[in-house]
Amino acid sequence: SAVAMPVDEILNDAVNVMSEPQLPARFVVPGQEEQVLVGLGPLDPGRGYQYRIAMSSVPGPPNSRPVMDMVLLPPFEADAEYFIGQGFKGESTHLTPDSEFALDISMPVGSAVHAARGGIVMDVEEDFNRGGTDRDKFVDKANHVRVLHDDGTMALYAHLSMAGVIVRAGQRVRAGQAIARSGNTGLSSGPHLHFAIQQNVGMKLVSLPFEFHLQSGGSAQPEEGKFV
């Protein structure tokens, strides 16, 4: 990640083991850095020892409360219009907290994807070239860009084209800036952009509701089965 990421480590089934620092512990690893977090060894050097270590991490700075009432630019060119194939609380594939308020926006492969808010590019994946509906085969194969905003929320733009990302990790982007080209990679039944605003709330990744700015003025929540 290009920004700090919290990591939790827990020591299980420890026999004759000491750790430095003592576990459980939480660490915040700076972006684009590698760190040795824990040292482990026998409490009594003359005896054998064993242990299991469990580690979990969630992207983004942990917050106690979700950010609400966000109004964003649509994640594409200002003069474009696209159909929302799956909206908030979609019953097809958006069944987990990290995607409950995600959108699937039907877009032809190669369509321009723009930043909905300004921020820092956290991570980029653009090496996958295939997509399909086989979950075991494609669930972790979606090209994507993740952008961290100043309030700790993050925008996820997924199913992008292979080699279709035009920003890099650590780069600051502005709202409305072109960042990628849409595609059909990963777990996908057809070309579309998976777009979500997420936040690390108490070390759990959740998605958040939002509205889009309207060209006619004001804002509105995107609706499944309609154009935006």
What was the pLDDT predicted at 77? 96
Please determine, for residue 107, whether its predicted confidence score (pLDDT) is greater than 90.
yes
pTM attached to this predicted model: 0.91
Listed range (18-32, 71-85, 96-110) with the worst mean pLDDT: 18-32
In this structure, is the dihedral angle defined by the CA atoms of residues 224, 176, 99 and 150, taken in order, positive or negative? negative
Question: Rounded distance, CA 169 to CA 3, Å?
Answer: 9
What was the pLDDT predicted at 3? 65
Question: Rounded distance, CA 56 to CA 103, Å?
Answer: 27
pLDDT grade for 1, boundaries at 50, 70 and 90: low
Q: Which SS3 state, helix, strand or coil, does residue 138 take?
A: helix
Cα–Cα–Cα angle for 169, 174, 177, rounded to 5 degrees: 90
pLDDT grade for 30, boundaries at 50, 70 and 90: confident
What pLDDT digit, counting tens, does each position of 136-191 carry?
999 999 999 999 999 999 999 999 999 999 999 999 999 999 999 999 999 999 99
